[in-house]
Structure 1
Amino acid sequence: MLFPTLGFALFFLVVYLMAWALNGSNEWRKIALLLASWFFYGAWDPRFVALLFASGLGNWAIGQGIVRARSPGTAKALLTIGIVGNLGILAWFKYAGFFLEQLSGLLHDLGLERDLPLLQVVLPVGVSFFTFQAISYLVDVRKGRVPAAGLLDLMLLMSFFPHLVAGPIVRASDLLPQFRRSPTLTRGAVAAALLLILWGLFKKAVIASQLAADLVDPAFFDPASRSSLDLLIGAYGYAVQIYCDFSAYSDMAIGLAALLGYRFPRNFDQPYRAASLQDFWRRWHISLSSWLRDYLYIPLGGSRRSAARTYLNLFLTMLLGGLWHGASWGFVIWGGLHGGWLAIERFWTRNRPGHWPVAPRWVGVIVTFHIVVLGWVFFRAPDIAAASGYLGALAVGDWRNTLVTPLSLALVVGGLAIHALPVATLPALAARVRRWPAPAVGLALGALILVVDTMRPEGVAPFIYYQF
């Protein structure tokens, strides 16, 4: 069930009316939202609702065990069991087939042929998100950052449909306190939420979808038949597409949760304006980058040890962050590229000669953007060979016979332009809209949805991050 569809709109309308009708009883409200979330997840594949239920039940039991443990050693052992269990779910569904394939190739290269089983494991949508959410919950309970949640609250934390399949990774400390009280809804919150949803709808249905159909997919499908200009604009186009696609999901998730009375943290902050890769990761997929920092980089030692260990920790964190995105060497190279450059940045910051001038910010923005775009080629291509072929065809230097259309070029430029809009634009507009009469808001919303529907290409492609 995709957000930008009529089916989801009808589903959400029912959930919205039901949730506010039950607002007098917070427990019944949460039960209704949990059942609706399972229905939402089951619309993709009913079999995996059982996985979601079992994961929630298991993490609740371990969380309760941690707070009731009679010794720190027992609590630590339970935490280890919980982390291993969650990572086991992720490893089986996401990586078992990949590692078996790599093992088969290695044995073949060594001349040790073996008839290994061929695994075709269906990847549950959103498994990476709800397992990471569960791990952070258990760690925070063990460290005393949050109290152990009740069964209903933890189930809803992991299953809540706005963020279930593609984030943001909302931490227990952000959402559990909101679940413990009956929410309220103000006119200003409604205006801001509707604008966020509409903005996300436009970015996904018009910019991201049109770029994918007209420019990005053809360029990556057969780069050898394209000119270097096509491939260059195609790489820029994918940078815009993935930003508009993923930030659109986050905007819509935040807006949908707000209409139900809950606040999600912001997940993007104009990432292509970053002047360094470290700054980029403070702005891109903020919930994941902060998770990797708090639950991987810092436990590895962070920057508290030697300089060499700091560089290694940065590299390993991003390498594993790349692998989190999927079982592919392309993701590993993408993560390694980011980790390596982060280490180089940290080395340069520590060792830059004092007499060397500091480069202007715009230089850092341009360099950082192009490193990110280079990484996106490995992220988007189906495998390393395809990524190498893309970069090789780009380097040929054939700038003739371009197939880039004025519309595609306008979408790339326009996507970068709207990405750079002042952060206060939507809040300022929401402050105006909330003073409008309700019928005027409804008419304007309907008219804008019709405009978006007219501008978008046929069909609705899944969000890119659904595959993770």
Structure 2
Amino acid sequence: MVFNSYTFVIFFAIILGLHNLPISWKAKKINLLIASYLFYAAWNPPFILLLWLSTVVDFFVGRALYTQPNKSKRHLLLIISLIGNLGMLCFFKYGGFILENFVTLSNAIGLNYHPAKPNIILPAGISFYTFTTLCYTIDMYKKKSKPVKSLLDFSLFVTFFPHLVAGPIVRPPQLVPQFETPRTATGQQLLNGLLLLTLGLFMKVVCADTLLASTSDIVFSSPGNMGPLDAWAGVLAFSGQIFFDFAGYSTSAIGVALCLGFILPQNFLYPYAAIGFSDFWRRWHITLSSWLRDYLYIPLGGNREGKFRAYINVMITMLIGGLWHGANWTFVAWGCLHGFYLWIEKALKDSRIKKPHLPDSIPLAPVIVTASFAPVLPGKSTGGFLYALFTFLLICVTWVFFRSATFAIAWRLLKSMAGQAPPAGPPLLTTAALLQVAIVVSLMLAFHWFMRDTTVLKTSAKLPWWLLGIVWALLLILIILSQGTSKSFIYFQF
């Protein structure tokens, strides 16, 4: 089941009605848990067993990790949790990838090995709920918080349907306490939640799928070279599509949860207004970047063991972050390129400004904890805007690897963008398509820059009620008119 479907509208209306009935809080939580399983079962019912297994194992292992005084036994319990969670993730998401690369390596050294190709179905959202449960057991091992008392609360934390399939990646302290006491939305929360849900669906259905997806698909599926204009239009279209698609899901998820009275963490803060690449990772997929910081970068040593180790730790973190997105070397290249950008930014900053050592625990710090050029290009200055635009263009280059199925496609497109590959035929895109991408992407960048230091809800609260009503009505009309062109969310495959 997806947010951008009429089925979900009916499903959500029923859940909202049940949640506001005068029944016990426990009954409401059971309703939400059943609803979450139904929501997930709409893709493939047998995969609910994986959710049950992950939930039950991590609930009891987490409790044992917290209460077990024997250090060796605690290590063993943590290993069991890691093997269970990462083992499932590796099998379903990376099994075919690992086998393919093993076969390639075997044949390269002269071993004639050709096994049958595995037919593994990827469970929707497995990367997201694996990271969700992993952070619980790791926190229990480190005794950062107390164990969840109720299996019902823990099950609902793992499977809560707004964030289950594509995030935000939620940690226990952010959500579990909200399940401990009765909670329904206030009138203002309900209005805010419905507004965010509408905005998220507009971003997905209208902006991502209707206005940008077809141009992106044409360019990235082209078998030959193309002119720079076509190439850049396709890459810019995908840069907008991936933002509107993923941020649209996160915005919808936050809105759905708010309608029920629950608060989910922010996941996007207008990332294309980022002044530098560190700033980008403060704003793009915030819950993933903070997860990688806290559970990978800092345990590796962070920036505590000298500059060289800090550079290595940044690159390792970004490479794993790239691989998290998909079982393909192009995703690793995407992560590597972001790591390289962070290297250069840090090196330039270190050469210009001498600053004291910063702790790893800065809230919402990126995987590299030093700030970008904010001291040099502050706020919404002209220099800041130009650097943000430069940052955006370099990020667009990374999206080439993210979107391309192979390195051959990525390299051909990069050469076309640079004007180094003569077009194989007539232009791929019409003038209307080029103008459409130019207008949508320009408006997106302008909106990001204007909203850089605020939020949608803060801005909407300042608008006259009649103006907000008109804007809201227009969004709904455009969503309904565009519904036939909508597709599944891109991040469901991750």
TM-score range, shorter chain: over 0.9
- Equivalent runs, 1:390-405 vs 2, <5 Å: 390-396=413-419, 401=427, 403-405=430-432
1:382 aligns with 2:405: yes
1:369 aligns with 2:379: no
User: Hey, what does 2:43 align to over in structure 1?
Assistant: 44
Of 404-413 and 93-102, the range deviating more from structure 2: 404-413
1:420 aligns with 2:446: no
Of 185-194 and 288-297, the range deviating more from structure 2: 185-194
Partner SS for 1:351: helix
* C-alpha distance in structure 2 between counterparts of 1:222 and 1:321, whole Å: 28
Partner SS for 1:336: helix
Q: Deviations over 1:132-153 (max 9, x none)?
A: 0111111112222221112111
* C-alpha distance in structure 2 between counterparts of 1:392 and 1:446, whole Å: 44
Partner SS for 1:115: coil
Partner SS for 1:154: helix
Partner SS for 2:289: helix
* C-alpha distance in structure 2 between counterparts of 1:362 and 1:420, whole Å: 8
Q: Which amino acid aligns with 2:486?
A: V
Flag the 1:351–1:407 CA change in 2: closer, same or farther, 3 A: closer
User: Hey, what does 1:409 align to over in structure 2?
Assistant: 438
Asked if the contact 2:330/2:407 (under 8 Å) is kept, the reply is: yes
Shift, 1:426, TM fit? 3.4
* C-alpha distance in structure 2 between counterparts of 1:73 and 1:430, whole Å: 54
Q: Which amino acid aligns with 1:411?
A: V
Q: Which amino acid aligns with 2:68?
A: A
Shift, 1:367, TM fit? 2.7
Q: Which amino acid aligns with 1:409?
A: A
* C-alpha distance in structure 2 between counterparts of 1:444 and 1:224, whole Å: 42
Flag the 1:350–1:462 CA change in 2: closer, same or farther, 3 A: same
Asked if the contact 1:230/1:404 (under 8 Å) is kept, the reply is: no
* C-alpha distance in structure 1 between counterparts of 2:473 and 2:54, whole Å: 39
1:183 aligns with 2:186: no
User: Hey, what does 1:116 align to over in structure 2?
Assistant: 115
User: Hey, what does 1:429 align to over in structure 2?
Assistant: 460
Structure 1 residue runs of 5 or longer lacking an equivalent are none
1:239 aligns with 2:239: yes
* C-alpha distance in structure 2 between counterparts of 1:280 and 1:444, whole Å: 29
* C-alpha distance in structure 2 between counterparts of 1:201 and 1:430, whole Å: 20
* C-alpha distance in structure 2 between counterparts of 1:272 and 1:47, whole Å: 39
Structure 2 residue runs of 5 or longer lacking an equivalent are 355-374, 378-382
User: Hey, what does 2:488 align to over in structure 1?
Assistant: 462
Flag the 1:20–1:72 CA change in 2: closer, same or farther, 3 A: farther
1:145 aligns with 2:144: yes
Q: Deviations over 1:10-40 (max 9, x none)?
A: 0011111112215x42211111111110001
* C-alpha distance in structure 2 between counterparts of 1:444 and 1:410, whole Å: 19
Partner SS for 2:485: coil
Flag the 1:412–1:290 CA change in 2: closer, same or farther, 3 A: same
User: Hey, what does 2:260 align to over in structure 1?
Assistant: 260
* C-alpha distance in structure 2 between counterparts of 1:281 and 1:444, whole Å: 30
Of 404-413 and 328-337, the range deviating more from structure 2: 404-413
Shift, 1:389, TM fit? 1.4
User: Hey, what does 1:338 align to over in structure 2?
Assistant: 338
Q: Which amino acid aligns with 1:368?
A: T
Q: Which amino acid aligns with 1:420?
A: W
* C-alpha distance in structure 1 between counterparts of 2:39 and 2:219, whole Å: 34
Flag the 1:12–1:444 CA change in 2: closer, same or farther, 3 A: farther
Shift, 1:414, TM fit? 2.4
The count of aligned residue pairs is 460
Q: Deviations over 1:312-351 (max 9, x none)?
A: 0000000000000010000000001111221222222222
Asked if the contact 2:236/2:437 (under 8 Å) is kept, the reply is: no
Asked if the contact 2:213/2:241 (under 8 Å) is kept, the reply is: no
Of 401-410 and 172-181, the range deviating more from structure 2: 401-410
Asked if the contact 2:20/2:184 (under 8 Å) is kept, the reply is: no
Shift, 1:81, TM fit? 1.8
Flag the 1:173–1:375 CA change in 2: closer, same or farther, 3 A: same
User: Hey, what does 2:165 align to over in structure 1?
Assistant: 165
Q: Deviations over 1:119-175 (max 9, x none)?
A: 121000000000001111111122222211121111111111101110000111100
User: Hey, what does 2:365 align to over in structure 1?
Assistant: none
Asked if the contact 2:190/2:260 (under 8 Å) is kept, the reply is: no
Of 360-369 and 272-281, the range deviating more from structure 2: 360-369
Flag the 1:418–1:392 CA change in 2: closer, same or farther, 3 A: same
Shift, 1:184, TM fit? 3.2
Identity in percent: 40
Of 400-409 and 233-242, the range deviating more from structure 2: 400-409
Q: Deviations over 1:345-370 (max 9, x none)?
A: 2222222388xx95643343133212
Shift, 1:236, TM fit? 1.2
Of 239-248 and 360-369, the range deviating more from structure 2: 360-369
Q: Deviations over 1:164-210 (max 9, x none)?
A: 11000011110011011111321211121111111111111111002
User: Hey, what does 2:311 align to over in structure 1?
Assistant: 311
* C-alpha distance in structure 2 between counterparts of 1:217 and 1:372, whole Å: 19
TM-align CA RMSD: 2.4
TM-score of the superposed pair, with normalisation by structure 1: 0.93
Shift, 1:444, TM fit? 8.7
Q: Which amino acid aligns with 1:26?
A: W
Asked if the contact 1:37/1:161 (under 8 Å) is kept, the reply is: yes
